[in-house]
């Protein structure tokens, strides 16, 4: 039983991109028509209906963060984002100073919109740069080049107090020097936050069918070590597997996921997790944008809704919490899952013995070894000890 409702976030999915990147396994769909034909207004109608249908589940709760993700949300006009945020504000209570993040890609026509997004109420921009090397960007199938990336970051730095640059490493043909150059380019803009993703080939992507030549494990490990050195020296803290921030600039929205807070997800393919006094529910919306729109404006867009079983909760909790380099307070396991500490006690002891979990009764936290072999550590929690 929970005395207090958990912190609540809102995720909004805008599903279209100019084209599909060959490594991408997100729910993103290439928009093949002219941009002015993007069905912005209808999609916003659908989001509004989706949100209204969900309101009874989050009645009276305050939303502490909003994240507009995609796809490429910056394909939407500033007027559309303004309407979206007005729709949200009129129906949900946003906490004072709520963080409102939006993802953007560095096409120049979008960068010109950044100031207007800020005016609409976006407080934080996350820019999908990936690399400053045109050859790498081409290998990743990105639609922008390094010059556009720089222009977009400059514009973001002018318009937003807080912004994030997404970079990828272990890219096709990338050398250690290439990564060093990418980092230097990013750091020149003094970003408050950096996300650094190791390129992985996911199933059902174009890269899975035609794998590019990738750096081997040794070079990848050297790259991670380089990241640690360069970003540490620049004052960044690695607070999650892929997230680095200057003090005070951590992404509150993502922290809420990793701390196993609640979130409502609206939009095509969006996922939500909501806790009630007696159960935790996960829900997913229809993925295909047109089907989502029709369903949201009709009988409802939820495709899947299920109670998370007690035997799944330890793994689900750890899957998030152990990504954080500081881990979480031990008490939050009970608070956020509703389970007794005994549900994980034996597995935690085994993980401590194997050197994967810190031996600290007040925190649940992976050791550096545990972070490196996170999948092995997580697998230990797949089989729960919980018994009814
Ligand atoms: S821009 Fe982002 S969401 Fe869109 S296809 Fe590329 S990686 Fe996926």
CB distance 28 to ligand 1 below 6 Å: yes
Asked if 139 and 240 sit in the same domain, the reply is yes
Please state the domain count of the chain. 2
For residue 225, being part of any structural domain is answered with yes
Asked if 317 and 194 sit in the same domain, the reply is no
Domain of 348, in residue numbers: 313-379
**Residue among 17, 141, 287 to mutate when testing ligand 1 (max atoms within 8 A of CB):** 17
Contact at 8 Å (CB) between 100 and 117? no
For residue 336, being part of any structural domain is answered with yes
Report the nearest atom of ligand 1 relative to the CA of 141. Answer: 6
For residue 296, being part of any structural domain is answered with no
pLDDT at 384: 55
The CATH number linked to 81 is: 3.20.20.70
Q: What would the mean pLDDT of 361-378 be, rounded to a whole number?
A: 96
Residue identifier of the C-alpha nearest atom 5 of ligand 1? 20
What residues contact 180, with CB distance under 8 A and at least 6 apart? 226, 230
Cα(23) to ligand 1 centroid in Å equals 8
Asked if 227 and 366 sit in the same domain, the reply is no
Report the nearest atom of ligand 1 relative to the CA of 28. Answer: 3
Of 118, 214, 109, 104, nearest in space to 158 by CA: 118
Out of 240, 256, 272, pick the residue that ends a domain. 256
For residue 194, being part of any structural domain is answered with yes
Peptide bond into 71 cis (omega under 30): yes
Contact at 8 Å (CB) between 337 and 314? yes
- With 90 as the cut, is the pLDDT of residue 219 above it? yes
Residue identifier of the C-alpha nearest atom 6 of ligand 1? 21
The CATH number linked to 340 is: 1.10.10.10
pLDDT at 111: 74
Asked if 136 and 243 sit in the same domain, the reply is yes
Asked if 236 and 92 sit in the same domain, the reply is yes
User: What are 280's strand-pairing partners?
Assistant: 275
Of 141, 139, 81, 137, nearest in space to 110 by CA: 81
- Cα gap 190→200, rounded to integer Å: 27
Asked if 125 and 190 sit in the same domain, the reply is yes
- With 80 as the cut, is the pLDDT of residue 109 above it? no
CB distance 128 to ligand 1 below 6 Å: yes
385 band by pLDDT with thresholds 50, 70 and 90:
low
* Strands annotated E in 105-225: 124-130, 162-169, 193-198
Asked if 12 and 98 sit in the same domain, the reply is yes
- With 60 as the cut, is the pLDDT of residue 267 above it? yes
Cα(355) to ligand 1 centroid in Å equals 37
Contact at 8 Å (CB) between 327 and 363? yes
Cα(323) to ligand 1 centroid in Å equals 23
CB distance 70 to ligand 1 below 6 Å: yes
CB distance 17 to ligand 1 below 6 Å: yes
- Cα gap 151→157, rounded to integer Å: 10
Asked if 203 and 327 sit in the same domain, the reply is no
For residue 322, being part of any structural domain is answered with yes
Condensed to tens digits (0 to 9), the pLDDT of residues 277-329 reads 999 999 999 999 999 999 999 999 999 999 999 999 999 999 999 999 999 99
Asked if 63 and 211 sit in the same domain, the reply is yes
CB distance 105 to ligand 1 below 6 Å: yes
Asked if 223 and 366 sit in the same domain, the reply is no
Cα(24) to ligand 1 centroid in Å equals 6
- With 60 as the cut, is the pLDDT of residue 39 above it? yes
For residue 287, being part of any structural domain is answered with no
At CA 317, angle to CA 311 and CA 319, rounded to 5? 105
For residue 272, being part of any structural domain is answered with no
Asked if 169 and 70 sit in the same domain, the reply is yes
Asked if 190 and 55 sit in the same domain, the reply is yes
Cα(347) to ligand 1 centroid in Å equals 37
Report the nearest atom of ligand 1 relative to the CA of 23. Answer: 7
Cα(142) to ligand 1 centroid in Å equals 8
Out of 256, 271, 305, pick the residue that ends a domain. 256
CA dihedral 378, 383, 387, 388 (to 10 degrees): 90
User: 124 by DSSP, 3-state: which?
Assistant: strand
- With 90 as the cut, is the pLDDT of residue 69 above it? yes
The percentage of the chain sitting over the pLDDT mark of 70, rounded to a whole number, equals 97
Cα(97) to ligand 1 centroid in Å equals 29
For residue 283, being part of any structural domain is answered with no
Residue identifier of the C-alpha nearest atom 8 of ligand 1? 24
388 band by pLDDT with thresholds 50, 70 and 90:
very low
Q: What is the largest CA-CA distance in the chain?
A: 59
Cα(27) to ligand 1 centroid in Å equals 9
């Amino acid at each position: 039983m929970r005395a207090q409702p958990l912190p609540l976030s809102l995720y909004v999915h805008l599903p279209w991109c100019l084209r599909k990147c060959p490594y991408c396994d997100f729910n993103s769909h290439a928009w093949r028509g002219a941009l002015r034909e993007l069905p912005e207004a209808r999609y916003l109608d659908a989001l509004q209906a989706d949100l209204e249908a969900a309101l009874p589940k989050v009645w009276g709760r305050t939303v502490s963060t909003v994240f507009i993700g995609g796809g490429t949300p910056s394909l939407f006009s500033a007027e559309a984002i303004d309407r979206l945020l007005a729709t949200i504000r009129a129906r949900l209570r946003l906490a004072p100073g709520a963080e409102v993040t939006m993802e953007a890609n560095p096409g120049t026509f979008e960068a010109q919109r950044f100031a207007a997004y800020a005016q609409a109420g976006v407080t934080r921009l996350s820019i999908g740069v990936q690399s400053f090397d045109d050859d790498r960007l081409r290998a990743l199938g990105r639609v922008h080049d390094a010059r556009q990336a720089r222009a977009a970051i400059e514009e973001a730095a002018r318009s937003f107090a807080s912004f994030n640059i997404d970079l990828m490493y272990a890219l096709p043909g990338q050398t250690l020097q290439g990564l060093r150059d990418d980092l230097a380019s990013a750091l020149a803009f003094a970003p408050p936050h950096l996300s650094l993703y190791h390129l992985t080939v996911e199933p059902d992507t174009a890269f899975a069918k035609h794998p590019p030549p990738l750096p081997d494990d040794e070079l990848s490990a050297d790259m991670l070590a380089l990241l640690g050195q360069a970003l540490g020296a620049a004052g960044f803290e690695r607070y999650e597997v892929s997230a680095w921030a200057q003090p005070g600039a951590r992404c509150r929205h993502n922290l809420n996921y990793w701390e196993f807070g609640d979130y409502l997800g609206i939009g095509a393919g969006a996922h939500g997790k909501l806790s009630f006094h007696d159960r935790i529910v996960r829900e997913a919306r229809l993925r295909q944008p047109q089907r989502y729109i029709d369903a949201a404006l009709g009988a409802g867009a939820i495709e899947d809704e299920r109670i998370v079983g007690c035997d799944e909760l330890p793994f689900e909790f750890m899957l998030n919490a152990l990504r954080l380099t500081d881990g979480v307070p031990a008490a939050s396991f009970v608070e956020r899952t509703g389970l007794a500490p005994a549900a994980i006690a034996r597995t935690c002891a085994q993980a401590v013995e194997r050197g994967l979990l810190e031996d600290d009764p007040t925190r649940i936290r992976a050791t550096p070894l545990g972070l490196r072999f996170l999948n092995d550590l997580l697998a230990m929690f797949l089989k729960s000890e919980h018994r009814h």
